[in-house]
Structure 1
Amino acid sequence: MTATLADTLKTRSNDHSYITGGFYGGTRVGWHQPTPAAAAEGRPLSVVLPAHNTAYALPTVLDALAAQHTAGPVDVIVVDDASTDNTFEIARRHPVVTTAVRLATRSGSAGARNVGARLAQAENLLFVDSDMVLPSHVLADFAARARPETVLTGFRHNLPFLRTACGPMLPENPPQLAADHRVTWTPPINTLLPYSGITLTEPLHGRPLDATDDFQNLGYGRFYYDWDLPRMAVTALLGVPRERLVDVGGFDEEFGRIGWGMEDTYLGAALIAARCLVVPLRQAVGYHLDPPDAAAQWQTKLAAWPATLAHYRTLLAQPAPTGRGRDFAAATDKLLTDAEVITA
């Protein structure tokens, strides 16, 4: 009998110490230290931003990408998922954007990311949310550390939407690692946690990143309360090897048709099954700019989560995906058939 994806995850280690230790030996830069621009020289990176009605944040996000300090070649692909605001106009006119795509109909973030990956020039991809503002060292952080077997994850610091005449207001201080739930986590008590199915009866001040030794102790399908290794792969800021992504079929677009969430968790599971390691970059933290109607959007997303979680569990019961490059190409080419594509 063919092993399921869930069974395969139980056989995969996440011991990445040879990678983090070897990086310092070769560069004299600590794994979690901001990276000098020169360390990324000769290491191309394709940055993919899916976007839907993010005109409020996109100029600030793209300006931050234009201000990155990296010596490596970078192409920036913005895929507008049929926005009803001027997201596409912003993308196509910004000088940092090398390819701007407007999908003819709403596909969801999974489909938009797949299209960006299809058009990418580099073998190493960096998925960035179109409302994530990055410090100037982050592209060099990812480019210098990318490997064919690593899924590199950064972190996010959510900010409420505050507009000024010059755009969203950003704090003078840099984004804080502890603001991400994968770093500091205070779950509710006496409430079922749907992902793991557990209920905590005592208050917990969780520290997932520290308690799992930078996610290494989450290998072999293990949990830290409500967190497992696939759930640590969050596409707000995520670096993946393009070849492995294509082979597993990319993001499952069904998640976008169902609702919100879990497409990045499933991709993480598929890549772990394909023998990738999930490695955090503590220095790579961006400001995630909440939309003006954040509360309403969040309620809509949470309402859809049970359905996307059920789809994820269905996929866990199937064999680990592999050899799906042809399907990936066909699906993305179909989305591109009626899309508007502008290249610099």
Structure 2
Amino acid sequence: MSPLLEIEDLTVAFTAGERTAHAVRGVTLSADTGRTTVVLGESGSGKSVTARAVLGLLGRNARVGGDVRLGGESLLGLDERAMSARRGRDIGLVPQDPGGSLDPLRRVGGQIAEVLRAHRVRNSRAARRELALELLSQAGVPEPGRVARSYPHELSGGLRQRVAIAAAVACGPRLLIADEPTTALDMTVQAQILALFQRLQRELGMALLLVTHDVGVARLMASTVVVMYAGRVVEEGPAARVLDRPAHPYTAALLAAQPRPGIPRGELAGLPGLPPSATAEIEGRCALVPRCPYAVAACSAEPPLLAPVAAGGSAACPVPWPDPVAAPGAGARTR
């Protein structure tokens, strides 16, 4: 059976005058019903642009290539009216900043009811109000009646995120996209929101595409991890293999930079330099070359293709290198 979401050779470029920024450079990934695909990478890797390409929310100056399919249906060829019908109904979005997605001048209960009205869920206003309260309760909102009557600015960040989640799942979408949904929250609230995602996924049977830069979130949530760098997928595979036995030096660097007991923050390992700009010409080489201590001449000759890894998944690095975060007793990396 095919995955619910299939992204194949996706490219996204933005043009402004004579300058072109290549945000996504040939990304292929998928998400299965009932499972969580985590797209992991630092800022500027193209992970959020990839997620928004699924929703058709890239703006008029974006040039998009490749294909995005949901349940076998290609989304990139749909006009705006058809895509609007699928947003909310088939695909829900939980943004990084719930305050930016909620209308500051409307009570939050009315905003959830509007999602229901737009997709013709429940016929009467009273029925939609009742369902909005049920959705807030399902999202773990205490006193849903009071919260429904509140304006966004009257709620905490955690409550606003729960409201955004309630709106995103209001129509029972098949796919839920969460774009850095816990970045602005403290650790306690972050854990509560992630637990909420897990519960809703079990109850509603959704596929979850979760975008994050946080390795800890990936460890907690992922069935599959897709690692992106400079607009490309550099590694993908089962979460346990990618996060315990990375097969690409960039993935290993992300893991090595994660805070761990006994290692002061100032002593965490990190790659030198910065990621390339989206306007940089990197089509003929591996984008990590200027920062990678294991690069050889072949890495600058052509971009490496994803190749199978012995323990599952694939990685775009043909060069043997020591694994600095191998599981205890695992020995050298094998491909």
TM-score range, shorter-chain basis?
Answer: under 0.3
TM (normalized to structure 2)? 0.28
Which has the bigger relative contact order, CA under 8 A and spacing at least 6? 1
TM-score using structure 1 length: 0.27
CA radius of gyration, larger in: 2
